[in-house]
Chain A
Amino acid sequence: MLSIQSTETKNINFLGRKRINQKPELFEAFLRERTSGTAILEIVYDAKSIYDNVKLDLKSDTSLVVDIFVLGKVVRHILPKKNLRMSEFITVNDVPDGATPRLRLKIISSDGIDTGIIYASTSKLIAFKSTIPDGANAAGQTEKSILDLKQSDDLNGCTLKVSWSANADITVMVDRSFYQQYQARPSVLRLVLYPDMMRSIAINLLAHYEELGDLDESCTAFRWLKFVEENLGLALQGDDSIYDPNNSESLLDSVEMIVEKFMATPWNGGKTLLEEALNGS
């Protein structure tokens, strides 16, 4: 085992395992999306820094793996070892809404003789950090994500449909075949779906302008309203509202303003949706 060490260290336990520190400059783990029991996770990591952190040689016969734990199931993903900061998207199925995927990052032997030995790992299971816009209510209970896309087989050729229910819940449905074909490329999926989704949600919000002031805080329409007002900084109510219900042209202008602001805003990793898709993640 010592042959794979880059330099001598005493920071090892009795079987030689070393601890990978949980630091953003080494790795970060994000829960990017949940859709009908499928979670899309992203690991942003720097393999060279991780190996340096535990004083192991990046070129050794080892694998850098991430084990993802969900309700008694473990999914393993081998991370490419490259000398640069990069990200990997991982799709995990059967993840109910209430379940939080957690991970352990490990450097394991890929040498036949030492198969089954862990050379280094994070010490505890680490929860993926959710970047899905979802509110925590006053009681601190997490509510259902507003970006809970429902897969559907019944959209008549459309990729996406947004509906507003009687109790002011906004449901976003996506074509199942389309979603499943592109779910391994989430940045492309987001780029294709989200502008239309945001446009439809904006239309729905403004079409219900008279009701906005009375929305119940638990409904998704209220949380989308807050998302537009707080995350995009565009007021839809009051004196500063971008929308004038007495001006028939205002609806289209306001909707486009919301979509353009949404698309110009950096989200994951400080990138706009277009930048993220072009960068090939």
Chain B
Amino acid sequence: MAKQPSSDRIELVYGSLDMLILRTLLWGPTHGHGIAKSIERVSAETFKVEHGSLYPALQRLHQEGWITSEWGVSKKNQRAKYYRLTAAGRRQLSAETSRWERFARAVTSVLNHPEPEEVK
């Protein structure tokens, strides 16, 4: 694995990891390692996700009823626990996504705004 300068990595905002996990599972059921790899790949390794931090998040999502889990066998014939998105999880993801987009738009527009007209 190529080393990344640490300054290029961004710490995840609290709660956004949940969203990333749900989004990943939208492509289909997978195991914890698969989720970690997928997030790294899709975000072009921008996010600094410690693999260990996935597991408490997975438990939490499970308790909320947004994902379910069952033991299965991987392509390489390895036993692993597979997580699957539930209907409630899908609803949660779309709600979270639209909230995130509003948030991102707002932040972006503030950052891109020209100098305020009335400055003391």
Q: Do chains A and B stick together as partners?
A: no
Name B residues whose Cβ lies closer than 8 Å to a Cβ of A. Answer: none
Spell out A's residues near B (CB within 8 Å): none
